[in-house]
């Protein structure tokens, strides 16, 4: 009931947002006090479609209220992020909702916020190695990786199937959780010979280990990272295919960590004459990737309903401002403390359920896509 009321409260709010660029990238809502901010939201970059989706959902959740809200983008820079947080502190922010660009570097920003009496909510990405995080609102990131691993495993028969691994950015804590989830499912299938890793000597060296330490994950991620960057993903995939023989191609399986990198990697594999078929993962249900899924160019994506995440984060902030303890359902260890977290489930999307998951749910309009059945 409380949740419903809070959601309604959010929905009647009106927001006016204007786009800028760089570290001063700014979006504001009308608030009670001129120039003051109750809830500050700091997002990592406008260059990855994922965060524009989150921004959109925040826009529909934030609105006319006694609470004033300002959204700032850090454009992939921890220095901008720190400046953004300081700007919001100077405007009297009570709650900070922050999706860090760099999990460890963001510690300094949130420590400054805590010192100023601000409650800190980590949004989507955990901030590590600091006590200055009060809450964490997130999707189940290990489940994301497990769903990717399971998709590949479910589509593999026989043995010796070529497996190509790619990972997210090493300074993003989620990259580890996604990889951990995927490894949970793929490792037994590598151990039993279903898959053979083709592009990572570090992963091959660790392939008998059912669970990996953070350092071991780091070694693999360091080798196959995309840095969440389309171009880096593309050039890595090209290099990997150049380094192997035709026997390492044929029907291949590709763990791609998100949609942007998945499209780049898929294009490279599709263009290789020796690749007869590929299965490739993704996540975020970006519009371009949903179209790729419909067209059979990307095998699956994972729908992370940013409406739920933005609503949960705003409800938490409103609870905090009203002196209530926000509801949480789990904890995440950030290296120093167990952070109380609210976790949202994820939905696997393939050609078969695109319409049901993304159109019928009201997330996207059917007109954004062609060939939808
Ligand atoms: C992760 C996020 C993913 C994906 C990725 C690239 O932290 O959880 O959904 O968007 O960053 O930006």
pLDDT digits (tens, 9 = 90+) for 237-277: 999 999 999 999 999 999 999 999 999 999 999 999 999 99
Question: Are 37 and 88 in contact, with CB atoms under 8 Å apart?
Answer: yes
CATH architecture, domain 141-304+348-368: 3-Layer(aba) Sandwich (3.40)
Query: What does the mean pLDDT of the chain come to?
Result: 91
| pLDDT tens-place string over residues 7-49 | 444 443 333 333 333 333 455 554 445 579 999 999 999 999 8
Where in the chain are the domains?
Answer: 25-133+306-344, 141-304+348-368
Q: Kindly tell me if the per-residue pLDDT of 361 is higher than 60.
A: yes
Would you give the end-to-end CA distance of the chain in angstroms? Answer: 37
pLDDT score, position 327: 96
Q: Is 299 helix (H, G, I), strand (E, B) or coil?
A: coil
Question: Are 217 and 242 in contact, with CB atoms under 8 Å apart?
Answer: no
> What are the DSSP E strand ranges found in the chain?
26-28, 39-43, 69-73, 95-98, 119-123, 135-139, 161-165, 195-197, 250-255, 275-280, 301-303, 330-333, 338-344, 347-349
**CA of residue 297 to ligand 1 center, whole Å:** 21
**CA of residue 184 to ligand 1 center, whole Å:** 20
Query: Quick one: average pLDDT of 64-78?
Result: 87
190, with CB counted inside 10 A (0-12, 13-18, 19+), is buried
Question: Are 348 and 144 in contact, with CB atoms under 8 Å apart?
Answer: no
Domains 25-133+306-344 and 141-304+348-368 belong to one CATH topology: yes
Q: Kindly tell me if the per-residue pLDDT of 5 is higher than 70.
A: no
**CA of residue 152 to ligand 1 center, whole Å:** 20
Residue with CA closest to ligand 1 atom 4:
258
**CA of residue 189 to ligand 1 center, whole Å:** 26
Residue with CA closest to ligand 1 atom 10:
50
Q: Is the model more confident about 191 or about 18?
A: 191
**CA of residue 106 to ligand 1 center, whole Å:** 16
Distance CA 184, CA 192 (A): 14
pLDDT score, position 59: 81
Question: Are 90 and 66 in contact, with CB atoms under 8 Å apart?
Answer: no
195-197, strands of its sheet edge to edge: 195-197, 161-165, 250-255, 275-280
Atom of ligand 1 nearest to the CA of 173: 7
Q: Is 6 helix (H, G, I), strand (E, B) or coil?
A: helix
Which CATH number applies to 25-133+306-344? Answer: 3.40.50.2300
Atom of ligand 1 nearest to the CA of 258: 4
pLDDT score, position 62: 78
Dihedral pair phi/psi, residue 35, rounded to 5°: 75, 0
Provide the CA 162 distance to its chain's centre, in angstroms: 26
pLDDT score, position 56: 86
Question: For residue 69, which of 127, 28, 126, 110 has the smallest C-alpha distance?
Answer: 28
pLDDT score, position 34: 59
Question: Are 39 and 319 in contact, with CB atoms under 8 Å apart?
Answer: no
Atom of ligand 1 nearest to the CA of 172: 7
Query: Model's pTM, two decimal places?
Result: 0.90
Pocket of ligand 1, candidates 50, 106, 136, 229: which has the most ligand atoms within 8 Å of its Cβ, to mutate? 50
pLDDT score, position 24: 39
Question: Are 3 and 50 in contact, with CB atoms under 8 Å apart?
Answer: no
**CA of residue 50 to ligand 1 center, whole Å:** 7
Atom of ligand 1 nearest to the CA of 283: 9
Cβ < 6 A, ligand 1 pocket: 48, 50, 124-125, 168, 172, 174, 228, 258, 283-284, 304
| pLDDT tens-place string over residues 158-188 | 999 999 999 999 999 999 999 999 999 999 9
Atom of ligand 1 nearest to the CA of 260: 6
**CA of residue 193 to ligand 1 center, whole Å:** 31
């Amino acid at each position: 009931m409380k949740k419903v009321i809070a959601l309604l409260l959010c929905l009647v709010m009106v927001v006016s947002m204007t786009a800028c660029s760089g570290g001063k990238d700014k979006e504001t809502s009308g608030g009670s006090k001129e120039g003051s901010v109750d809830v500050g939201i700091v997002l990592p970059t406008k260059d990855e479609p994922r965060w524009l989706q989150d921004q959109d959902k925040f826009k529909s959740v934030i609105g006319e209220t006694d609470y004033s809200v300002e959204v700032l983008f850090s454009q992939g820079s921890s220095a901008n992020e720190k400046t953004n947080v300081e700007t919001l502190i100077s405007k009297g922010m009570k709650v900070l909702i922050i999706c860090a660009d760099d999990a460890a570097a963001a510690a300094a920003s949130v420590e400054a916020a805590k010192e100023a009496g601000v409650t800190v909510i980590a949004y989507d990405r955990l901030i590590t190695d600091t006590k200055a995080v009060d809450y964490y609102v997130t999707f189940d990131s290990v489940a994301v990786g497990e769903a990717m691993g399971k998709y590949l495993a479910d589509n593999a028969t026989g043995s010796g199937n070529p497996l190509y691994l790619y990972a997210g950015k090493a300074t993003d804590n989620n990259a580890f959780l996604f990889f951990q989830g995927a490894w949970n499912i793929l490792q037994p299938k590598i151990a039993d010979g279903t898959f053979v890793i083709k592009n990572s000597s570090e992963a091959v060296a660790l392939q008998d280990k059912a669970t990996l330490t953070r350092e071991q994950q780091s070694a693999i991620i360091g080798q196959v990272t995309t840095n969440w960057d389309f171009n880096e993903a593309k050039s890595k995939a090209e290099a990997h295919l150049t380094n192997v023989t035709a026997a390492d191609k044929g029907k291949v399986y590709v763990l791609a960590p998100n949609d942007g990198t998945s499209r780049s990697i898929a294009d490279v594999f599709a263009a290789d004459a020796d690749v007869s078929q590929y299965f490739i993962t993704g996540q975020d249900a970006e519009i371009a990737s949903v179209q790729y899924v419909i067209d059979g160019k990307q095998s699956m994506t994972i729908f992370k309903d940013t409406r739920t995440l933005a609503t949960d984060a705003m409800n938490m902030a409103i609870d905090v401002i009203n002196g209530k303890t926000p509801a949480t359902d789990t904890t995440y260890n950030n290296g120093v403390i167990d952070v109380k977290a609210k976790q949202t489930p994820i939905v696997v999307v393939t050609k078969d359920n695109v319409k049901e998951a993304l159109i019928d749910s009201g997330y996207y309009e059917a007109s954004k896509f062609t060939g939808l059945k």
